[in-house]
Amino acid sequence: MSTSTPIRGTQIIALREILLLAIDSFRLNQIRFALTALGMVIGTASLILVVTIGLSGRKYVLTSIQNIGTNLVWAEYAGLSDASESSVRDYLTVDDMRAVEQQIPGIKAASPVLNLHQFFTSGGGKERDVLILGVNPEYADIRRLYLVAGRFFDQQDSITHSHAALVTEKFALAQYGNPGEAVGKTLAISGVPFIIIGVFRERFETFGQSEIVDETVLIPYTVARYFTGTDAVNQIYFSMNDSGSVPWATQAIWKAIKARHRAESVYDVGNLSEVLSIAGKTATAFSIVLLLFSLVTLMVSGVGIMNIMLATVRSRIREIGIRKALGATFREIQLQFLAEAVLISLTGGVVGTVLAMALPLLVAFFTDYRLQVSWLSAVVAILVSCAVGVAFGTFPAVRAARMDPVESLKYE
């Protein structure tokens, strides 16, 4: 035990001297080392920012999809499994909706959706195809619509077959200039006058999972069905009391609808669970791709460190010879140049990490946006920068340590 303490103390002194030599070398060649470390700054910062952007993007997408309604289930007619009978259609009806509400427990609200189309002429004389949707009053809550102006039609409007209509915000802007001006205006649908009682828009981004387009008009289903003369509907929306029952309810609704129609008829009954899963996998894959690009940047920076260290070794051959003549060992010479490489890499990594972590905080301070900061990515980035320094600094360090002291002293 008495002999181990002096040896350990000597090792600590040697490591301290190696670090001091590396720092002195850095001070003597500040510009060269700073330019070399710049690559690590960019690489490390990009790695952290990629993780930050990936996490923030993933959170935004998943939150937006969840806000659309994780308790939402929809059903629609998909066609016939037998192409020979393609002329016979077996559409969904309001009776299907009522039957499902009676058979499946836990349904909070339901609404049919009937699609109609009509051309409207804008102020410039240009005709636009506008989507008309016949829906129940519950549709506003099921689809979480945001009322910009006016009101939504209610059960009384539906029962009395009121000619009330709501238009999207974009339709109101295109047709009347602003949402407030649209309320109270008369809109002719197939020659029948409707009074616009409200202007709406979707509360959240739906990522294409929506029957509502930029220019859409909503009218009561009880009125819309008279334009078709049938009870057929394009879609049925259901809202469950509990989002946990959605997977089970989706299968139960499909079975209930299937039992009411011909065997060859095909119906799609879905929810946002699959969309959530796909969105999560897509965001993860996108983050991985960007992360690989960041790692390539770090590898390029590592090559730069190796090149500058090889040049450093070449310019300090005589110094290496003198150190070896004074008793420096192979390991000490190797550690000296390896420490310089790691110092360059680590300095760039720390600076890049600080810059990358400061950016989300500055964005949060000056704007309302909140980027999801990953402190783990900062730790990983610093560890990776150290690993790059070791990996790309080993070859120049070994080359310096293997130099012949006699030949090195003769070098001019």
337-346 tens-digit pLDDT = 888 888 888 8
Give the C-alpha distances (Å, rounded to integers) separating 31 from 25, 34, 344.
11, 5, 12
In angstroms, the CA 341 to CA 196 distance is: 72
Q: What pLDDT is stored for residue 375 in this prediction?
A: 78
Q: What pLDDT is stored for residue 103 in this prediction?
A: 92
In angstroms, the CA 198 to CA 56 distance is: 35
Chain centre to alpha carbon of residue 407: 59
Q: What pLDDT is stored for residue 166 in this prediction?
A: 94
In angstroms, the CA 192 to CA 397 distance is: 87
Tell whether the model's pLDDT for residue 10 goes beyond 50: no
In angstroms, the CA 322 to CA 336 distance is: 14
Q: Which residue from 212, 214, 205 is spatially nearest to 279, judged by alpha carbons?
A: 205
Q: Which residue from 149, 165, 144 is spatially nearest to 220, judged by alpha carbons?
A: 165
- Planar angle of CA 308, 309, 310, nearest 5 degrees: 90
Q: What percent of the chain has pLDDT over 90?
A: 22
Mean pLDDT in residue range 281-309: 79
> Do residues 279 and 298 touch, judged by C-beta distance below 8 A?
no
Mean pLDDT in residue range 244-259: 89
Q: For the chain, what is the mean pLDDT?
A: 80
Confidence bin at 112 (pLDDT 50/70/90): very high
Chain centre to alpha carbon of residue 144: 22
- Please say whether the dihedral angle defined by the alpha carbons of residues 375, 380, 386 and 389, taken in this order, is positive or negative: negative
In angstroms, the CA 204 to CA 201 distance is: 9
In angstroms, the CA 181 to CA 274 distance is: 40
Task: Please give the structure tokens belonging to residue 80.
Answer: 């016939």
In angstroms, the CA 164 to CA 81 distance is: 39
Q: Which residue from 97, 127, 128, 89 is spatially nearest to 113, judged by alpha carbons?
A: 97
Tens of pLDDT, residue by residue over 318-361, are 877 887 787 777 887 888 788 888 888 888 888 888 888 888 87
Give the domain ranges of the chain: 15-64+278-410, 71-270
In angstroms, the CA 228 to CA 298 distance is: 64
Within a 13 Å sphere around the CA of 271, how many CA atoms are in the beta-carbon half?
Answer: 23
In angstroms, the CA 77 to CA 251 distance is: 15
> Do residues 267 and 259 touch, judged by C-beta distance below 8 A?
no
Reported pTM: 0.59
Confidence bin at 1 (pLDDT 50/70/90): very low
Cβ neighbours around 289 below 10 Å, total = 11
Please state which of the ranges 11-15, 68-72, 244-248 shows the lowest mean pLDDT. 11-15
Mean pLDDT in residue range 34-53: 81
Tell whether the model's pLDDT for residue 98 goes beyond 50: yes
Q: What pLDDT is stored for residue 62 in this prediction?
A: 65
Q: Which residue from 278, 269, 344 is spatially nearest to 306, judged by alpha carbons?
A: 344
Please state which of the ranges 177-186, 238-247, 263-272, 364-373 shows the lowest mean pLDDT. 364-373
Q: What pLDDT is stored for residue 2 in this prediction?
A: 45
Tell whether the model's pLDDT for residue 295 goes beyond 60: yes
**Residues near 222 by beta carbon (within 8 Å), at least 6 away in sequence:** 158, 159, 161
* Torsion, Cα of 260, 265, 266, 267 (10° steps): -30
Chain centre to alpha carbon of residue 114: 33
Mean pLDDT in residue range 182-196: 89
More confident residue, 60 or 43: 43
Mean pLDDT in residue range 393-409: 79
> Do residues 269 and 73 touch, judged by C-beta distance below 8 A?
yes
Instruction: Provide the b/e sequence for 371-385 (b: ≥16 CB within 10 Å).
Output: bebbeebbebbbebb
Q: Is 264 left (phi over 0), alpha (psi -120 to 50) or beta?
A: alpha
Tell me, what DSSP letter sits at residue 11?
Answer: H
